[in-house]
Amino acid sequence: MSLENQVIAVTGAGSGIGRATAMYLADIGARVGLLDIRSPQVVAEAINQNYGENRAFACACDVRSSADVDKAFQSIVDALGPLNGAVNLAGVVGKGRKLGTEEGRLKDLADEEWERVVATNLTGTKNCMRAELQCLSPAGGSIVNTASVAGQQGTPYNSAYAVSKAGVISLTKSVAKETGKHNVRINAISPGVVDTPLLDSFTDDSSRPGFMANTNALGRAAQPTEVAKLIAFLLSNDSSYCTGAIFNIDGGW
């Protein structure tokens, strides 16, 4: 599988799955435009040092702002050229969610917290997709969104997150039906538990082993690079007949 000289935008590229995806895509030949709410310049510098100059370009972008998104994507096109693909990984979970507690239940959920999560995960994905579709090469390309098993099954004490990810699933399927005739494929990954800072935000050292053992058939969290490899497959021509699909990577949830 190769993405040699393909220009791929990655949101949420500063850490976690986004960082791992950016590094992996560069490793298999892609040129990557990196976006995060704080400029992922450190990631871009690491890629350019390891794989050659002008392989990565970084800029700050708040995906909740359509104006910010449009400006950031134009900067990527100016630096690297039209996009061949994009990965929308920017996202947040609910504040204060801790395993084994009832923090985050709907009856206590502030409007501001609901809006923060939905604006980032769902509206942010919409904003990025709209910009990406305008920045894609005339030949078409592939967009990969980030859903979650929470969006498929629901998650107690984190309803805003689950709703936002269910929305991403519907958005992915809907827009894929608009763009197929233009040779643009749109799919989504649906991770379970991944070993990233987001996992640390709602587990601790004492609760994590039991959570892992009881959550999925494999009894462990995914590593970010495992998710990155699925994303790379969906960006590549190896998945040329896949669109409007949701790909679970959840260890047998």
Residues marked as catalytic: 161, 165
Count CA within 13 A, CB hemisphere, residue 6.
28
- Residue 20: partners with Cβ closer than 8 Å, 6 or more residues away: 223, 224, 225, 227, 228
Please, is 218 exposed, middle or buried when counting C-beta atoms within 10 Å of its C-beta (0-12, 13-18, 19+)? Answer: middle
Question: How many other β-carbons are positioned within 10 Å of the β-carbon of residue 155?
Answer: 20
Determine contact, residues 127/175, Cβ cutoff 8 Å.
Answer: no
What single letter denotes the amino acid at residue 157?
Y
| DSSP character string of 40-85 | -HHHHHHHHHHH-TTSEEEEE--TT-HHHHHHHHHHHHHHH-SBSE
Cα 34–Cα 177–Cα 127 angle in degrees, nearest 5: 35
> What is the arrangement of strands in the sheet containing 246-249, beginning at the earlier edge strand?
56-60, 31-36, 7-11, 85-88, 141-146, 184-191, 246-249
* Location of structure tokens 């497959």: 233
Look up residue 11 and give its two tokens: 């949101």
Determine contact, residues 131/73, Cβ cutoff 8 Å.
Answer: yes
